[in-house]
Amino acid sequence: MNGGAISQTPKVYGWCPGALRPMMSGDGLVVRVRAPLGKLTVDQARGVARLSQDFGNGLLDISARANLQMRGIREDAHEELIASLRTLGLIDPDAQAEARRNVLLAPFWTEGNDTHAIATELSAALTEAADLALPGKFGFAVDCGGTPVLQDTAADIRIERVGGALLLRADGAVTGKPVTRESAVPEALALARWFLDQGGAPEGRGRMHRLIARRGPPPAHAAPRIDASFAAKPGTVPAGTLAALEFGQMPAATLAQLAEHGEIRLTPWRALLVEGTAGLPSLPGLILDATDPRLQVVACTGAPGCLQALSATRDLARDLAPHVPAGTKLHISGCAKGCACPGPAPLTLTATGQNEFSLIRHGTAADQPLKTRLSADALRAAPELLKEGS
C-alpha cells in the first residue's frame, strides 16, 4: 500500500553514526562500533560493557548491520572513549576508513573458510581504498556458506554462494558475475567504482538497488542467483548459542556476563552468537525462547531516546506482542523514517503524535494508513484493532 504518506516529515541524515563520527540522539551521543569481522573477544566485550557504563547510559544496541551501538555517551567523554576503544582494537585509522569498512559477514563462518577469508581481505582493502568515496550507508555482504543467509539483510554489493561457485551480485539484480576466492575482492571494488561511475551516488547519496532499477547490472553479470530466505531463531547452532535481544537492545552488564561464556559474534538479526556454548543463563534483555512473542515485533528506540520520535514505542511493543497474529510481524515506529524496519511489514504502527499512531498494512512506516489517530491506550485495551481490515 503506497497511496500516500503521513504528514510528519522527519529529518533524514543520509549517513549512519560511527565511533569517530557519532550522532546526537535524545539520550546523548550514539557511538557505533564496527567490530572487526563482527566479533568481540572476551576482553573486548568486557571493555565495551565497562566503557558503556562509565561514559554512557549503560545501554547497547545491535544494529541491522551487526554493529554495536553505545548509547547516551556524554559529549565531553567522547575523546576519552575513543582512546579506550582504540586500545581495545576497535577503532579505524580515521572516520573515512571507518565509513568505507562497512562489511557484514554471515555469522556462521569458520576460521579460514571462504566467508572469513574474503571478509578479512575485503575489510583490509576498503580501509586502504582512500579514493573510494562511497555513500555513508553503502555496504557489502559476504555470505559464502552452503546457503545464503543474508539476502533479507540490506547490502549494496553481495558475495554469495550459488551451488559450488561464488557469485558477485549488485543488490537489486537477479544475476551476478561468477568469481573465485582470489578474485572476489578486486571484483567487488570494481563493482563499487562502477556504481560511482554510473552516477549511483549523486550528491554523495544513493543505493545500489536504485541504480540497478534504472539501468540494470553490468553486462558481465549474467549468471543467475538463487533465492534464499533465512529466519534466525534463538537456540543452539553449530558455532554456539544464538541469543536474541529484546528490540535489539541490552544492558551493558548483560554483555559483560555473556563474555564469561565465550567470544561473541554480532549478527544482523538483533541477536548475538556466543561461541562454543550449548546454553546461556536468563539475563536482562535476552530472549532465549524461539516462541517468545516479542520476536514478532520490531520497535525503534522511540521517544525520548530518539530526537525524531514522536512517541515512546517499546512499552507499547511489549504490551502488544502477545496479540500479534502468529506468523505476522508488527513494526512500531516512532516516526515515518521507519529506521528499525525500512521495508514493508504486514503490520506497522507509526507514531503521529504523543501516544498516537497510524495503522498501516503491508507497507512502510511512511505509507498511507488504514486507520489514524489510534491512541496507545486504545490499542492496549483493544489489540484486536491490529486485525481489522486483514
Whole-angstrom distance, CA of residue 350 vs CA of residue 304? 15
Cell of 219: 553486462
List the grid coordinates of 174: 537477479
**Cell numbers at residue 215, please?**
539501468
pLDDT one-digit tens code per residue, 152-184? 999 999 999 998 999 999 999 999 999 999 999
Q: For residue 4, what pLDDT is reported?
A: 42
pLDDT confidence band for 2 (50 / 70 / 90): very low
CA distance 10 to 159: 34
% of residues, the chain, pLDDT over 90: 91
User: Residue 191 and residue 208: Cα distance in Å, rounded?
Assistant: 10
d(CA 84, CA 340): 29
Q: How far apart are CA 40 and CA 37, in angstroms?
A: 9
pLDDT band, very low/low/confident/very high, at 342 (cuts 50, 70, 90): confident
Average pLDDT over residues 83-95: 97
Paired with 359 in beta bridges are 349, 371
Q: Are 38 and 90 in contact (CB under 8 A)?
A: no
Measured CA to CA in angstroms, residue 260 lies from 53, 254, 263, 279, 310 at distances of 18, 10, 8, 12, 39
Sheet holding 249-251, edge to edge: 23-25, 28-33, 68-73, 59-62, 249-251
- pLDDT greater than 70 at residue 7: no
Which whole number is the average pLDDT over 304-319? 95
Check whether 11 has a pLDDT greater than 50: yes
CATH of domain 293-387: 3.30.413.10
Grouping H, G, I as helix, E, B as strand and the rest as coil, residue 353 is: strand
Is the peptide bond preceding residue 93 cis, with omega within 30 degrees of 0? Answer: no
Q: How far is it, in rounded angstroms, from Cα 81 to Cα 165?
A: 43
Give the residue extent of every domain in the chain: 23-93+242-284, 97-224, 293-387
C-alpha–C-alpha distance, residues 150 and 152, integer Å: 5
| pLDDT value of position 3 | 40
Q: What is the mean pLDDT of residues 189-199?
A: 98
Whether the Cβ atoms of residue 178 and residue 167 lie closer than 8 Å to each other:
yes
The DSSP annotation for 287-349 comes to E--TT-GGGGEEE---TTTSSS-SS--HHHHHHHGGGSPTT--EEEESSTT-TT--S-EEEEE
Hey, is 45 helix, strand or coil? helix
Task: Name residues whose C-beta falls within 8 Å of residue 25's C-beta, 6 or more positions apart in sequence.
Answer: 71, 301, 305, 306, 307
Give tens-digit pLDDT for 58-84.
999 999 999 999 999 999 999 999 999
In the predicted model, what is the mean pLDDT of residues 194-201?
A: 97
Question: 293-387: same fold as 23-93+242-284?
Answer: no
| pTM confidence score | 0.92
Return the DSSP state at 14: S
Name the class of domain 23-93+242-284: alpha beta
Element holding 122 (H helix, E strand):
helix 114-128
- Predicted pLDDT of residue 16: 78
> What pLDDT sits at residue 313?
98
The pLDDT > 70 percentage for the chain reads: 96
pLDDT digits (tens, 9 = 90+) for 356-387: 999 999 999 999 999 999 999 999 999 999 98
Give yes or no for residue 12 having a pLDDT over 90: no
Give 211-228 pLDDT, tens digit per residue.
999 999 999 999 999 999
Category of 262 on φ-ψ map: left (φ > 0), alpha (ψ -120 to 50) or beta: left
Cα–Cα distance measured from residue 110 to residue 52, given in angstroms and rounded to the nearest whole number: 29
